[in-house]
Amino acid sequence: MAIPFLAPFWQLARRVEDIFRDVEQLMVGMKALREEISRLDKRVSALETREELLVEKTRTAAATAASGAVTTHLVEMSRRLGAVEAAQRSRRRLPES
């Protein structure tokens, strides 16, 4: 007759055991989530670093392109000014002949 008296305690012990098992599984899952979050954090940091490098390269490329455009324009202006000066010199020489 002692067995029916112990049945509720036995069921309670099983429930407590199930709770401990569930808590253990939960802890394993939380550890995996922490590790995944850590990996993602590192990846985001790496991407931010690459983004900063890309922005710097873009700025450098834009500055180089702008410098090239200005240089081309200045060369063209110098060529035209040289042509105008040459034309003025040749006009000054003609009346003297």
pLDDT band at 4 (very low <50, low <70, confident <90, very high): confident
Q: How many CA atoms lie within 13 A of 29 on its CB side?
A: 6
33-55 CB burial, b ≥16 within 10 A, e <16: eeeeeeeeeeeeeeeeeeeeeee
Q: What single-letter DSSP state applies at residue 15? A: H
- What pTM did the predictor assign? 0.55
* Cα gap 75→69, rounded to integer Å: 10
Q: What angle do CA 65, 68, 80 make, to 5 degrees?
A: 145
* Domain segments of the chain as ranges: 27-96
Q: What single-letter DSSP state applies at residue 1? A: -
pLDDT, tens digit, 9 for 90 and up, residues 18-68: 999 999 999 999 999 999 999 999 999 999 999 999 999 999 999 999 998
Q: How many CA atoms lie within 13 A of 49 on its CB side?
A: 6
